[in-house]
Amino acid sequence: MMHYSSWLIGVKNRASLRNACKTPPNTDWNNNRGHALDTKNNNPQHKDKTCEQTVPNHLWKKGYKIIKKIGAGTFSEVVKTQSLKDGKFYACKTMKQTINSLEQANNLREVQAMKRLSPHANIIQLHELIFDKETGTVSLICELMEMNLYELIQGRQTPLPEQTVKHYMYQLCKSLEHMHSCGIFHRDVKPENILIRQNVLKLGDFGSCRSVYSKPPHTEYISTRWYRAPECLLTDGYYSLKMDIWSTGCVFFEIMSLNPLFSGANELDQIAKIHDVLGTPDQSILQKFKQSRAMHFNFLPRKGTGISRLIPNCPAPALSLLYQMLAYDPDERITAETAIRHTYFRDLRLAEKKADSLHRVTGAIGGVESSAMHSSMDHICRPTKLGKQLRGRHTRQTPLMSHTKHAAEPLIRRNIPHYPTELPKLNMVLPRPQIPFPVSTMPAFPATHRGTLPSITTKKCQSQLAKPRDESHRAAFKTFYMPPLDRKRGGY
């Protein structure tokens, strides 16, 4: 029986011999931080020179001016550009891989992921895709950020403030929750891919992302080694979106302590460092991994030192969340949605909820006030405007105007103040000796009746203390009356 350690050493040696001639010295700082993706170009230096020559030409044709080079990776390079149209600055990521058509460029996994995840406050936004037919070069114009998380903590002597760490981790968990709910997991969460601008954190670099619904086995050598989950190290590509949570836990520890948690020199050393801190897992957990591994592996029982000893000043809620993110078994690992609701982020959730409710109330009040002001001004100026609008307006638009008028009237009655010129209401109940009601002053309203029905005098026109003028008038009330009306279908 071949032990896992011997098998892994053999794989590592073969991989080193296979890629010795391909890996250039000092390609970039990602390789020095446990990067596991090997360079696939025969001559990367020549490729970089070719890329540097072609990038300015096709970007200039599209109206972008290159300011400076920001960074370079294995499969792409990033430059700072300025749009000649609006003068805004952007980050341009140019792929070193050539593409045959624009349709193929739009079908790239990274492009599809950015389009699906946009817009979100914690996801890098894609501004434009530029494809050059002559060279087959694809460039992604994205929003420009100030720095990444690694550059923020690099060289710091004092830890970041506790509230700043909490704010960053909350945004990172929200970005992962959005990604996983959209059916995508990142597979390469690390400080270099977490970008910051004015305390706003955004997740970027979706070149390694994969669909949640894709069936394993996946690519084995994925993610950066220091942030690679145990299921990625111990299985033949049988992992899921929970690997992003493990990487997030490693990032969480690093921004609190300013040091990486598991800085393994190779895959075997990476597993040993994980066991040094978390201890050797139970056989039941290892049995899950053995089901998808052709070779058997056995580990010596080891009790880990624990994370709390490495960061003794860590608050208890943060330590609780960290342990749940770094659960060895992916089935017991916390999800991004549950992590957002953790006690550690309680004050941020309450502040966010309060700000949202205040924004809704302010927006509602502002909308009512603006509509009321518009309605009141429209009510005051309606005769003049209505006359001008009706002249030359098509008759088919009249129902819309009528509907708008009736819809605005209740708002007008509520919000328009009473002006001094408004007539007061008449008080019809008056003492007889002081103000006798003159009957002769009431104008006569001619009414034509069919038949012998006499006119009926309303009681509103005489005082409560006044008596009928004669008995004939009283007899008229006794003789004639209005018959009751029948209700038909709920109306009169």
Residue range 106-128, pLDDT digits in tens: 999 999 999 999 999 999 999 99
* pLDDT tens-digit readout, 257-287: 999 999 999 999 999 999 999 999 998 898 8
Residue bearing the bigger pLDDT, 235 or 180: 180
**Active-site residue, selected from the candidate residues 28, 86, 188, 269:** 188
Neighbours of 35 (CB within 10 A): 21
Q: Which residues of 203-222 are buried (b: 16+ CB within 10 A; e: fewer)?
A: bbbbbbbbeeeeeeebeeeb
DSSP-derived pairing of the beta strands 147-148 and 210-211: unpaired
pTM of the model: 0.66
Mean confidence (pLDDT) of the chain:
76
What whole-number distance in Å separates Cα of residue 220 and Cα of residue 222?
6
In single-letter form, the type of residue at position 228 comes to: R
- State yes or no: is 188 an active-site residue: yes
Would you state the pLDDT for residue 220? Answer: 79
Say whether the peptide bond before residue 301 is cis (omega within 30 degrees of 0). Answer: no
Binding site: what residues are annotated? 93
What whole-number distance in Å separates Cα of residue 302 and Cα of residue 51?
49
- Residue 245, φ and ψ in degrees, nearest 5: -70, -40
Binding site for ATP: what residues are annotated? 93
Tokens of 468: 């009928």
Residue bearing the bigger pLDDT, 374 or 107: 107
Would you state the pLDDT for residue 412? Answer: 41
Of 234, 225, 230, the C-alpha closest to 298 is 234
Tokens of 105: 């460029």
What whole-number distance in Å separates Cα of residue 276 and Cα of residue 165?
25
What do you get for the CA distance between the two ends of the chain, in Å? 96
Q: Are 203 and 141 in contact (CB under 8 A)?
A: no
* pLDDT tens-digit readout, 304-363: 999 999 999 999 999 999 999 999 999 999 999 999 999 999 999 999 999 988 888 877
Question: Number of helices (H) and strands (E), helices first, in the chain?
Answer: 16, 10
> Would you tell me the crossing angle of helices 162-181 and 242-257 to the nearest 10 degrees?
170
Question: At 292, is the pLDDT very low, low, confident or very high (cuts 50, 70, 90)?
Answer: low
